[in-house]
Chains A and B, each alone.
Chain A
Amino acid sequence: MSGVAVTKEIPAPATGDLVVLSNVNKHFGELHVLQNIDLRIARGEVVVVIGPSGGGKSTLCRAINRLETIDSGEIVIDGKPLPAEGRELAALRADVGMVFQSFNLFAHKTVLHNVTLGQVKVRKKEKKAADDRARRLLDRVGVASQAEKYPAQLSGGQQQRVAIARALAMDPKIMLFDEPTSALDPEMINEVLEVMRQLALDGMTMVVVTHEMGFARSAANRVVFMADGRIVEETTPAQFFSDPSSERAKDFLSKILHH
């Protein structure tokens, strides 16, 4: 699949954008981590967010399912403003899959149970149906044989693929990836990126915060470059990597691409 140029033409979505952030601001004390962020994510679009550390990428990603609250502005998902808390927020989070840098698999539950838990407790599925679905998903991400093990018995790459399966089990409308490969040993990064690439090809809407420029180049529809709490540039991967328009992006790319 390496030869596949994943530059899908994104049709203007008839049903409107899936995620719309308007004028979003957030502070951590003195630090203004999100500054007037406007961002639209269309259905089926793969948006890769890159930029220097501390630039607000992860905060942006986590704000979309309200793991971080925002100070002002609005986030609308599938036509509905992000609920503040309670039942509605839980329901929304079930529709938004999240994959973390540190995997965060439930340490006291088996791999299989990690993937069935949300289906049974949130989606109210029968145990049997949830089990079947979980095993299919584990098979899809290539860890079916590890189903009965506990997370600590798996490698980092395997754990992250289970985490992806756990998120997919909820049938999310969108998947958020918060630096999914940053905690992995180098030889395990590709197995995770491969799963993500496949997901992108299947038409999943994705927001991916990453330092993997190869993934951004090959799988993204759009690159969002963030620095110092602002979206400095957003464009196609081809444009961004060959001819970035901002000085900040040029500087960033020159530091990471020259070795």
Chain B
Amino acid sequence: MFDFLKGYDLLAAFWVTVQLTFYSAVGSLIWGTVLAAMRVSPVPLMRGFGTAYVNVVRNIPLTVVIVFTSLGLFQTLGVTLGAADFTTINFRLAVLGLTAYTSSFVCEALRSGINTVPVGQTEAARAIGLNFPQVLRLIVLPQAFRSVVGPLASVLIALTKNTTVAAAIGVAEAAALMRVMIENEAQLILISAIFAFGFICLTLPTGLFLGWVSKKVSVRR
């Protein structure tokens, strides 16, 4: 029944999905944190930038963002992100697009976490002479992160599935292979089921693990 799978490298395709997810997750965690810091900063210009960024980027369809990285950044502006061959260029562009998009969601999750940190924590930190970056880095963000592990897990799961959009600019991840297989094989339902199962294998453990982490690190008050 599974004979038709011969000749297709499913593992390699899913491996690209995993890599896309990993690099984009790391990137959007960093950029999202920077954005959140901007949105709560005392500098109006930074606050304005953070707010504008989030409200623009999260309202653009991901497909548009990803296609723009290829058509706009690469083909029009010649941005290659330090790579020479198309495969690598497209991969990096996809990571860039996914990061730009996902970080707006990370920012908002984190900002809601920042709002759960009682104002007294900030006041006490300021009262011992910590400056704004220190207050954020040492007191507010550690507590905020602990309270949003759950929401961030949802963002990560969404990101994992969103990597399929990278197929639009020719990244050979799982969804790209699925499209090829559906074209060539008369096994529509089975192929869909296999890929659905593959994604569940990636996301379900992630969700369960982070749910456990969330309980483990929660701050007792």
Interface assignment of B139: CB less than 8 Å from any CB of chain A: yes
Residue A12 lies at the interface, judged by CB distance under 8 Å to chain B: no
Q: How far is the CB of A105 from chain B (nearest CB, A)?
A: 7
- Cα of A122 to Cα of B135 in the assembled complex, Å: 11
Contact across chains for B146 and A108 when beta carbons are under 8 A apart = yes
Q: Assess the B219–A107 pair: CB atoms within 8 A.
A: yes
Q: Which of B179-207 contact A (CB under 8 A)?
A: none
Q: A90-B130, A93-B126 are in contact. Are A100 and B120 (CB under 8 A)?
A: yes
Kindly name the residue among A67, A95, A106, A166 whose own CB sees the greatest number of chain B CB atoms within 10 A. Answer: A106
Bound-state Cα–Cα, A117 to B126, Å: 12
Residue of B nearest to A115 (CB): B128
A107 & B220 in contact (Cβ 8 Å cutoff): yes
Is A102 in contact with chain B by the CB < 8 A criterion?
Answer: yes
Q: Which of B88-113 contact A (CB under 8 A)?
A: none
Is A94 on the interface with B (CB-CB < 8 A)?
Answer: yes
- Cα distance, A85 to B42, chains bound together (Å): 11
A93 near B129 with CB under 8 A, answer yes
Chain B residue at minimum C-beta to C-beta distance from A119:
B128
User: Which of B42, B121, B130, B131 contacts A107, CB < 8 Å?
Assistant: B121
Interface residues of A in 86-124 (CB under 8 A from B): 86-87, 90-98, 100, 102-108, 117-118, 121-122
B128, A118: Cβ atoms closer than 8 Å: yes
Given A121-B138, A152-B221: A104 and B123 interface contact (C-beta under 8 Å): yes
| Alpha-carbon distance between A100 and B122 when the two chains are bound, in angstroms | 12
Contact of A100 among B123, B138, B146 (CB under 8 A): B123
For A, the interface residue count at a CB cutoff of 8 angstroms equals 33
Q: How far is the CB of B221 from chain A (nearest CB, A)?
A: 5
User: B10: CB under 8 A from chain A?
Assistant: no
**B48 close to A (CB within 8 Å):** no
* Chain A min CB distance to B27 (Å): 26
B127: which of A85, A93, A107, A150 is its contact (CB, 8 Å)? A93
| Closest B residue to A86 using CB positions | B131
Chain B positions within 8 Å of A170 at CB level: 128-129
B142 contacts which chain A residues (CB < 8 A)?
108
Bound state CA distance, A95 and B129, in angstroms? 8
Measured between beta carbons, the chain B residues less than 8 angstroms from A95 are: 129
Please tell me if the beta carbons of A117 and B138 are within 8 angstroms of each other in the complex: yes
Q: Could you say which residues of chain A place their CB within 8 Å of the CB of B131? A: 86-87, 90
Asked if B70 is an interface residue, CB under 8 A from chain A, the answer is no
Contact partner of B130 (CB less than 8 A), chosen from A65, A121, A150, is A121
Q: Name A163's closest neighbour in chain B (CB-CB).
A: B124
Is A167 an interface position by the 8 A CB rule? yes
Query: Which B residues are in CB contact (< 8 Å) with A92?
Result: 129
Which residues on A sit within 8 Å (CB–CB) of B219?
107-108
CB of B115 within 8 A of chain A?
Answer: no
In the complex, residue of chain B having the shortest beta-carbon distance to the beta carbon of A96: B127
List residues of chain B with CB within 8 A of the CB of A105: 124
Give the docked Cα–Cα distance between A106 and B139 (Å): 7
B220 — which chain A residues lie within 8 A by C-beta? 107, 150, 152-153
Chain B residues lying within 8 Å of A150, measured Cβ to Cβ, are 220
Chain A residues contacting B221 (CB-CB under 8 Å) are: 107, 152
Return chain B residues, CB-CB under 8 Å to A67.
123, 126-127
Nearest 5 interchain pairs by C-beta? A94-B129, A104-B124, A118-B128, A104-B120, A152-B220
Instruction: Show 18 residue pairs from A and B whose CB-CB distance is below 8 angstroms, ordered by the A residue.
Output: A90-B130, A92-B129, A93-B128, A94-B128, A94-B129, A98-B127, A103-B120, A104-B120, A105-B124, A107-B221, A108-B142, A117-B128, A118-B129, A122-B128, A150-B220, A152-B220, A167-B128, A170-B128
Given contacts A98-B127, A106-B124, A152-B221, 14 further A-B contacts (CB under 8 A): A65-B127, A67-B123, A67-B126, A90-B130, A98-B123, A100-B120, A100-B124, A100-B127, A104-B118, A107-B220, A108-B142, A108-B146, A122-B129, A153-B220
Which B positions have Cβ atoms within 8 angstroms of A? 42, 118, 120-121, 123-131, 134, 138-139, 142-143, 146, 219-221
